[in-house]
Amino acid sequence: MKNRLNSQAGMRSGFTMIELIFVIVIIGILASVAIPKLAATRDDAKISKLANAIQTAKSELSAKIIATNNIPNDAADPVQTIKDYSNTVAEAVISGDATVTNEDTNSSYITFIDKDSGDQCKKMYIKGNKNTGSVVISIVTDTNNTAICKGVNTLVPDTSITVGGTQVTY
């Protein structure tokens, strides 16, 4: 009796090659389903981040213009003034999601960018009118070649607001 128990205990234990192949196939199937979903989630996060930055920057800029009754383009350094007026714009410039450019003495613009492709998704123009003391903030579609830009363009419509004195007109 003792010999028979010893011989059974001496048998090799473990997985067969077929069992291992099945496990590898199942893991491969799960990975092929999960990886595209994770990539789409990453794109959705980028779209939300850019769209939120655009909307927040518009609100911050208009609030600061009303609070200070100053047109950013009148400053000695309009680009820096725009960054000072909006923390969102300053953060987007640092992270590479936006650039700020001064066109002339009356106009500047912020370009919101899909960093991966370099496509410019939206531009926010800030045009001051020294005669009326008002500022027009316009958001326009720049390009929409990438999925990120297309997503941002569906979430953030092209709009224009006028900020002057103590009011904002949409």
Domain count, the chain: 1
Sign (positive or negative) of CA dihedral 135, 98, 82, 104: negative
Measured distance CA(168)–CA(87) in Å, rounded: 20
Tens digit of each residue's pLDDT (9 = 90 or more) over 120-165: 999 999 888 777 778 889 999 987 778 888 999 899 999 998 887 6
Tell whether 101 is covered by a domain.
yes
Tell whether 4 is covered by a domain.
no
Predicted pLDDT of residue 5: 52
Tell whether 133 is covered by a domain.
yes
Q: How confident is the model at residue 167 (pLDDT cuts 50, 70, 90)?
A: low
Domain carrying residue 32: 15-169
Residue 32 has pLDDT above 80, yes or no: yes
Token readout for 123 is 């531009």
Tens digit of each residue's pLDDT (9 = 90 or more) over 38-82: 777 888 889 999 999 999 999 998 888 888 877 777 777 888 888
Tell whether 5 is covered by a domain.
no
Tell whether 1 is covered by a domain.
no
Tens digit of each residue's pLDDT (9 = 90 or more) over 70-113: 777 777 788 888 888 889 999 999 998 999 988 777 788 899 99
Say what the pTM is: 0.73
Residues 113, 97 contacting (CB under 8 angstroms): yes
Measured distance CA(118)–CA(142) in Å, rounded: 12
89: number of Cβ within 10 Å: 27
DSSP 3-state of 39: helix
Measured distance CA(92)–CA(30) in Å, rounded: 36
Predicted pLDDT of residue 51: 92
